[in-house]
Amino acid sequence: MTAPRLPESLIQSLGDQLTPVRRLPPPWLRTLGWLLAVAAIAAGLFMHYGAAHMIRRWVAEPDIAVAGAGAVMTAVSAAWAAFTLGVPGRSWRWALLPLPWLLLWVGASGLGCMRDWLGPSAHIARFNEASDCLIFIISFSVPLSALLIWLLRRAYPLRPVLAAVMVGLASAAASAALLEICHAFAVAATDLLTHAMAVGIVVALNALMGGRLLQPALK
């Protein structure tokens, strides 16, 4: 009887050593799981602060409501893009998914700075109050980013830095949306710049640290 050829026996041997790998849920389902964590935080903030003040502020300044919706959709689409970039063969163009919502968020927020008038009861944030917003966004972005990176590490994206940027954008946008629940200031240049600075810091830190954490380990 002829002995099996070496390549065939080698393939058979390697195949016998393989262990089954559990398939990851689709990106939309993993995005939903992360959003449940964001929703749990929002529920806690609503229990503490209520929704009446936020609604009154949105009625008085409808563009802020639009900006809040843009922040929410930026978080959803950026998280979805991050999970999708972890799927082999997916295009880098998925990183463009949050762009329209990001433009809506930034554009609607900027309208508050371009107003020629403010309501008589409007309170514009002082520097120390605006810095509280920066601390809030960064503080909430840290656990949300950590959760996203932990969920993504099982996938090991082929573009880890780009995926990490999406993680930072999703976390910062979600934190900015959560801030609307307890935000008490009219949108002014100082407040808007502080928010932009917080988002930039979160995205940059994720690109630096998250990109390294998402790189496949070489064995």
pLDDT tens digits, 95-151: 999 999 999 998 888 776 665 444 444 444 454 556 778 889 999 999 999 999 999
Beta carbons of 196 and 109 less than 8 angstroms apart: no
| pLDDT (mean) for 16-26 | 66
DSSP state of 95: G
pLDDT of residue 219: 44
Global pTM reads 0.82
**CB-based contact 145:206 (threshold 8 Å):** yes
At residue 109, the pLDDT reads: 80
Higher pLDDT, 85 or 61: 85
User: Best-predicted range by mean pLDDT among 13-22, 23-32, 130-139, 140-149?
Assistant: 140-149
Question: What's the rounded mean pLDDT across residues 155-163?
Answer: 85
Distances (CA, A) of 67 to 48, 61, 139, 154, 162: 23, 10, 21, 33, 25
| Least confident stretch, 8-22, 53-67, 78-92, 199-213 | 8-22
Nearest to 88 by CA among 27, 131, 46: 27
* Mean pLDDT on 172-187: 82
pLDDT digits (tens, 9 = 90+) for 206-218: 888 877 777 765 4
pLDDT of residue 42: 96
Distance CA 144, CA 174 (A): 8
pLDDT of residue 210: 75
Q: Which of 72, 57, 138, 60 is nearest to 105 (CA)?
A: 72
Contact 110, 171 (CB under 8 A): no
How many CB atoms are located within 10 Å of the residue 130 CB? 21
The Cα 170–Cα 147 span in angstroms is: 11
| CA 80/CA 124 separation, integer angstroms | 35
pLDDT band at 1 (very low <50, low <70, confident <90, very high): very low
- Cβ atoms of 162 and 94 within 8 Å: the answer is no
**What pLDDT is stored for residue 129 in this prediction?**
55
Distance of alpha carbon 77 from alpha carbon 90, whole angstroms: 15
Residue 186 has pLDDT above 70, yes or no: no
In this predicted structure, what is the pLDDT of residue 117?
A: 44
- Mean pLDDT, the chain, as a whole number? 81
